[in-house]
Amino acid sequence: MAHRFTNGTQRHKDAKIESDSESLRLCDSATLDVLIALHACNTATDDAIIKGIESGAKLIICAPCCHKQIRQEMEKSKVVDPITRYGIFLERQAVMITDAIRALIMEYYGYKTQVMEFIERIGLFILFGLMILAFSNDIMRFFF
C-alpha cells in the first residue's frame, strides 16, 4: 500500500483530511510499502519519515519544503558569520543541514539514500527543490 502526504487537503478513505498529522495518524502502517511526502511543511516531513521507518516502508520519497525548526535554532544562537548574515544564505544553510540530517537518519535505519534536485514547472514559474529517496535493502535487491 502506498500513502501520500501533502501539504493541504487530501482524501483518505473518502474522508477529507486537513492536516499532515491527521493523515499520518490514520495511515495503516502495517500495510505501508511506499511513503511519499510532497511539500510536507516543516516537521511534517520528519513525521512522515518516522512513520515510513517504523512501518518498514520499502521506499520513502520526500520533497520537503519549509525548514523552520533548524533555522529558528540558528537564529536563536545569535551567531552571525559572513555567510549567514544574509538571510537567504541562512535559509539555504538551514535547508542543507535539515535535509542532510534526514538522509543520515534514514541511512542509520538501514536505507540507501539519495538526495537530488528536482525541477517543477507551475505555469510560467519554475521551482527548484530537493528530493530525498530512501530505499530499503529489499527494494534495492529487486531493482538494482
Q: Tens digits of per-residue pLDDT, 9-34?
A: 333 333 333 345 555 555 666 678 89
**Pairing mode of beta strands 34-38, 59-63:** parallel
At 71 the pLDDT is 80
The cell numbers describing 83, all together, are 555567510
Return left, alpha or beta for 127; rule: phi > 0 is left, psi -120 to 50 is alpha, else beta: beta
27: DSSP letter: S
Residues 135 and 106 sit within 8 Å (Cβ to Cβ):
no
Per-residue pLDDT tens over the stretch 43-82: 889 999 999 999 999 999 999 877 777 888 888 887 767 7
Name, in order, each residue with C-beta under 8 angstroms of 75's C-beta and a sequence gap of 6 or more. Answer: 90
Q: Mean pLDDT, the chain, as a whole number? A: 78
Q: Considering the domain 2-143, what is its CATH architecture?
A: 3-Layer(aba) Sandwich (3.40)
Which residues are bridge partners to 115 per DSSP? 132
